[in-house]
A and B are shown apart, each in its own frame.
Chain A
Amino acid sequence: MAESAPLTESASVFRTRGITKIYRSGEVEVHALRGVDLDLYEGEMAVLLGPSGSGKSTLLNILGGLDVPTSGEVTFKDLALSSMKERGLTAFRRHRVGFVFQFYNLIPSLTARENVELVTEIARDPMSAEEALTLVGLEKRLDHFPAQLSGGEQQRVAIARAIAKRPEVLLCDEPTGALDSKTGTLVLEAIDTVNRELGTTTALITHNQVIAQMADRVIWFGDGQIVRIDVNETRISAQEVAW
């Protein structure tokens, strides 16, 4: 990272201060987050690592406006997410965030193109569905239904769907979790391309430490807290990732 400016000097996109999240299931209280302070910067690729139940997904969901913290503050640029209501959060997700999940969550009754169009239709300044699908290397599978695509292809449609609206952030929760190494690489390539070419701030959760080498920063979670943050001197490309 010699040629780029120090990260702290880029504008902060997400900013969390002292956020906690407590789930109550029956009589048990689960402290999913215990005071997390974190900044994510414009254009960076951050990988969130940590064991199951360490709070990564909870944080990602809060950042994406799917969930609200029990206490603490979350801001996205000038938006105070932690104090927003349901309607505002829906609009936030609609226009500014792209999601990719482990299970692709495509609409089975829509083709690849239409799954992407589903999002471009309601976005303000989207790219075309073809463009988004080309970016993830699926220009030849536009009119296939999910049932006709492989797992990796389905996940790449999900990525195309996430980025077609030109989101300001891309949030990926174990995007390769259900894929083998070879198809996983293709998916990571797609995410890498989006991050580099479009400059979309990207946060990616994984269990796989190898993937961490693609990141600008690696944020380690443990027991609902950030344990440490590593800054990578150099980012390896997706092709170099292998597991």
Chain B
Amino acid sequence: MTALISPLTKKLARDLWRIKSQGLAIALVIGCGVATVVMAFGTLVSLQETRETYYERFRFAHVFAQLKRAPERLADDIERIPGVARVATRIVKDVTLDVPGIPEPSVGRLVSIPERGEPMLNHMTLREGRWVLPDRTDEVIVSQKSADAHGYQLGDPIGATINGKKRTLTIVGIAQSPEFIYALGPGQFIPDDKTFGIMWMGREALEAAFDLKESFNDVSISLMRGANEKDVIDRVDILIEPFGGTGAFGREDHMSDAFVRGEMDQLRAMGSILPPIFLGVAAFLLHVVIGRLIHTEREQIGLLKAFGYANWHVGWHYLKFVLVLSAGGVLIGIGLGWWMGRWMTGQYSELLNFPFLHYRLELSVFALAVVVTVGTVTVGTLRTVMSAVRLPPAVAMSPAPPPVYHKSLLERWGLQRYLTEPTRIIMRNIFRWPVRTGLTCLGLAASSSLMVATMFGLDALDQMMDVYYFQSNRQDATISFVDTRSDNVLQDVMRLPGVMAAEPMRNVPVRLRLGHLSELVSITGIPQDAKLYQLLDINLRHVDVVPEGLIISTRLAENLGAKPGDIVTAEVKEGRQPTLQLPVAVVVEEYIGASAYMSLDALNRAMGERRSANTAIVLLDDTQLPALYDEIKNTPMVASIFLRSTALRSFNETIAENTTQALGFYIFLGSMIAFGIVYNSARIALSERGRELASLRVLGFTRGEVSYILLGELVLLMTVSLPLGCVLGYGLAAIMAEGLQTDLYRIPLVVSRSTYGTAMLVVICATAVSCLIVGRRIKNLDLISVLKTRE
């Protein structure tokens, strides 16, 4: 009669139980890798599906264009373009708001909606309240985000300067829209819901307010399946050009969608770059542990084979050991990843403001995690398992020959007189197992490099903020005018309360073309003697504004494949809409956005206009801010004012809280690897050399001295791994920077000393903790039994 559970299975279970803490450490490392996959791809899939559903259900358009003013019949022409499914025209206007409780003027983007029926495209979900009523010209629906930021309630009044007239609007509804998942005001690059918000208003009310009867200044287009988007865009451009069209663009260039896409790319990068590190380390640890197990069970293997167990049976037995541990890791990882994914999805719900977003663990994500994990660890341990398979029974039954040691390299250089015997033991052991030593070192380096490569993101963010807000944009505030004005306007600006210095800027929307590549951007004209706005080269040194030619940012240069000397065609989308041939003069470093610059004089000349500007950047006296705000709210020519301090505040509010959580998460991941490696290495060393250490204890060596031999080696390897980890970390950070960059920004490769320091400190602490745990085992070494038995 056969036993219910085979003896080999029982052996497996007991072996696993015996090394449970090591097994747990390995499972945790695997778990971290799996968790990263599950979290990143799980969240990614959830985001993707939600986005698709959201876009489809609320009819998010495919192509967008703004223009100055066009008669409604233009919509019919657009609709006749092949591939166009639907056309929806709107009126979209930015106005200054006077929000109670907010001293600074904020900007509201008024977007028209039909008073009767749903918008044909870019529909919204009404979260609260009701639709605007026909004949009520003062009703608005505000976006959920601004409602949250200001605590708006239904029925609240908002003061607005509309087309130079002060009006009071009433909130009748709160809504969300796929078009404004990420909403940036003019001059912003981080959303600030306090100073910029979306408001939907009845079309007729807006037509009346802006004198746009039967006209529109914004058009959205949905495409038929299989339509050629590029072709539609080109045809739309031709149609809207006479009406001041600023260039049509697809979803790809739509700020909100680009942002969501950027987040997805980052998740994909994270899920692809990090897990291999964990799984590689786990495979190494399993290789060492299984190698040790096979070594100690050598005679048992011989016995099994002598009894008639087949080679594959023995191999499968040890492979099962690996697989059970991996399964444990996968389970931990799925649990942890599911939990983190839910957390992350929660963060995204808040950030992206989707009306619905649920974290769902796709079977495909689960399968991916399992296949990759099992594949990696099996490949990683196959060689060791095969060594058990190949062992001939007769050889296996006799004890393994003792390892042959040699004098270490240092001693061969004649340095032995500086080494005590315990130190020599350490050195020879290191040189005796060079591969294992190297991999241990590399594994520890992987741990610190992982932390460097993840935490560097925070340094990069600091750098981006510093470069953007302090090195390039040195102004305290940016004032945009409702239209382009002669640069005499600067004198008016200087007369505003608290303005200490002011410089003009001119933004002109253009489509730049080089070869078959094109990009819709705006060229910013900067005075040649600009003090407040500074252009920087790749080393962040000041670059003069050249008198002629185009200055483009690194991102734009990349997108267009342009380099200095190339002639770029600029189709201006404003005024008389000239087409210019501009030589690229300089490429400047800019982490955020794809931008182009010219000297203000040259731009004005090219546009065939007098010296004029549509923006002023200013230095302010803080004490005069309230007076300035009051004045600006009553100055119709000012469309908006954006303060650096507001942007920084909003940045710190949104980023700072996430930073702590992210930091904690990265440190957790890094310390898991470090702990897994050091703890396992120490346990293996203890198992291999318990006898040796017990002998030393018998000879009168103290616990401390014995611990030195065992743990000194690990501490030495850790010490070597630290600089290696920093170097690898920098390299990995470069890969991450490449992987994390989006169409909206480039990630600078900067790693601060404190990042290196933190990463090293975590490895040191994880090493210390595992040494302490193993040190307790040294204390409990059984001196007698170890001496009475042959290894």
Tell me how many residue pairs across A and B have CB atoms closer than 8 Å. 88
B420 x A109 contact (CB < 8 A): no
Report which residue of A61, A94, A107, A161 has the largest number of chain B beta carbons within 10 angstroms of its beta carbon.
A107
- Any chain B CB within 8 A of the CB of A122? yes
- Any chain A CB within 8 A of the CB of B789? yes
The residues of A that contact B700 with a CB separation of less than 8 Å are 90-95, 97, 119, 122
- Any chain B CB within 8 A of the CB of A117? yes
The residues of B that contact A178 with a CB separation of less than 8 Å are 790
Shortest B684–chain A CB gap in Å is: 16
Shortest B629–chain A CB gap in Å is: 75
- Which of B424, B691, B698, B703 has a CB less than 8 Å from the CB of A109? B424
* Complex-state Cα separation, A93 to B694, whole angstroms: 13
- Any chain A CB within 8 A of the CB of B405? yes
| Contacts A94-B700, A119-B699; A109 near B784 (Cβ below 8 A) | no
The residues of A that contact B428 with a CB separation of less than 8 Å are 109-110
* Complex-state Cα separation, A117 to B424, whole angstroms: 11
B424 x A122 contact (CB < 8 A): no
- In A27-70, which residues have CB < 8 Å from any B CB? 57, 61, 64, 66-67
B784 x A66 contact (CB < 8 A): yes
- Any chain A CB within 8 A of the CB of B696? yes
* Complex-state Cα separation, A172 to B429, whole angstroms: 29
- Any chain B CB within 8 A of the CB of A209? no
- Any chain B CB within 8 A of the CB of A145? yes
- In B743-791, which residues have CB < 8 Å from any A CB? 783-784, 787-791
- Any chain A CB within 8 A of the CB of B154? no
- Any chain A CB within 8 A of the CB of B308? no
* Complex-state Cα separation, A118 to B701, whole angstroms: 9
The residues of B that contact A114 with a CB separation of less than 8 Å are 421, 424
The residues of B that contact A108 with a CB separation of less than 8 Å are 402-403, 405, 692
- Any chain A CB within 8 A of the CB of B465? no
The residues of A that contact B696 with a CB separation of less than 8 Å are 107, 118
B405 x A147 contact (CB < 8 A): yes
| Contacts A66-B784, A67-B784, A118-B421; A109 near B402 (Cβ below 8 A) | no
Shortest B349–chain A CB gap in Å is: 57
Shortest B434–chain A CB gap in Å is: 14
- In A80-135, which residues have CB < 8 Å from any B CB? 87, 90-95, 97, 99, 101-103, 105-110, 114, 117-119, 121-122
The residues of A that contact B421 with a CB separation of less than 8 Å are 110, 114, 117-118, 121
B699 x A66 contact (CB < 8 A): no
* Complex-state Cα separation, A42 to B429, whole angstroms: 41
- B368-405, CB under 8 A of A: which get 1 and which 0? 00000000000000000000000000000000011111
- Any chain B CB within 8 A of the CB of A152? no
* Complex-state Cα separation, A241 to B698, whole angstroms: 29
- B682-720, CB under 8 A of A: which get 1 and which 0? 000000000110111111111101000000000000000
Report which residue of B401, B403, B692, B698 has the largest number of chain A beta carbons within 10 angstroms of its beta carbon.
B698
Report which residue of A91, A93, A178 has the largest number of chain B beta carbons within 10 angstroms of its beta carbon.
A93
A109 x B432 contact (CB < 8 A): yes
- Any chain B CB within 8 A of the CB of A146? yes
Shortest B418–chain A CB gap in Å is: 14
| Contacts A108-B403, A114-B421, A118-B421; A66 near B783 (Cβ below 8 A) | yes
- 26 example contacts (A-B, Cβ-Cβ < 8 A) are as follows A61-B784, A64-B698, A66-B783, A92-B700, A97-B700, A101-B787, A103-B789, A103-B791, A105-B691, A105-B692, A105-B787, A107-B425, A108-B402, A109-B405, A109-B429, A109-B432, A110-B421, A110-B424, A118-B696, A118-B699, A119-B699, A121-B420, A145-B406, A147-B403, A161-B699, A173-B788
| Chain A residues at the B interface, C-beta cutoff of 8 Å | 57, 61, 64, 66-67, 87, 90-95, 97, 99, 101-103, 105-110, 114, 117-119, 121-122, 145-148, 161, 173, 178
Given contacts A105-B691, A110-B424, A118-B696, 13 further A-B contacts (CB under 8 A): A90-B703, A95-B700, A103-B790, A106-B695, A107-B696, A109-B429, A110-B421, A114-B424, A119-B700, A147-B402, A147-B403, A147-B404, A161-B699
